[in-house]
Every structure is written in C-alpha cells, then in structure tokens.
Amino acid sequence: MKKLFQCIILLITTQAAIANAAKPDTLAIHTQSLIVSTCGDSILRGSSDSARTLFNEKFHAGLDTLLKLPESFSYSFAAVKNLSVLTSDDERFRIYTWMLPTGRGMKYQY
C-alpha cells in the first residue's frame, strides 16, 4: 500500500513537471504567490505585533521576488487576501499595497 501511494505521488509530480515544462515561470509564479498569500494571511491573524511584523517582512521579500518575474505584471493576485493591486488606466504600471495591523488592531501601517 505504501509503495502504491509513493507511485501515485511520483506520477502526479511527474505529470505536473511535464505539463509545466514549457512554462517554468508559471509554476514559479504560482509557488511564490502561495508563499506570499500564506504570509499575507498570517499578517492579519498573527498572535502578536512581533509575529505580524515578522510575517510582514517575509511577505515583502516574497512579493519582491515575485514581482521580479516578468509574467507577474499580468498575474491577478486574487488569492492574496491582504494585497490590493491597482492598475493604471493605460495598464503601464501597477501599485501594490497591503496593511500591517499593530497595537492589537488599533493602528495600521501600509
């Protein structure tokens, strides 16, 4: 049974790699956006200011890495709940903002 499970995992992993072989940046964007999304959620739900600040630093670093990928400009970021994306009317630039609640939710940094 364990071998069957390992084979199924290997098959799924291989199929995903083959499907994304022509689009390696798509996989990189998706993977990085999951990291950013998780950190964004942790910013909002962190147990203390120091925890939220730590997740904010990771969020910022992950977003910076993500935005260096050329394909990120057209990425929707819909899964990242703590991120607001504003695109100019001529679609030449985007503004990314998020909030960091502090002081038990009484103050916010942007």
For 68-84, what is each residue's pLDDT tens digit?
988 888 888 888 888 99
> Rounded mean pLDDT of the chain?
80
Statement: the pTM of the whole predicted model exceeds 0.85:
no
Q: Which amino acid, 40?
A: G
Q: How far apart are CA 54 and CA 90, in angstroms?
A: 35
pLDDT band at residue 24, thresholds of 50, 70 and 90?
A: low
pLDDT range class, residue 8, cuts 50, 70, 90: low
Q: For residue 88, what pLDDT band results from cuts at 50, 70 and 90?
A: very high
> Between 35 and 13, whose confidence is greater?
35
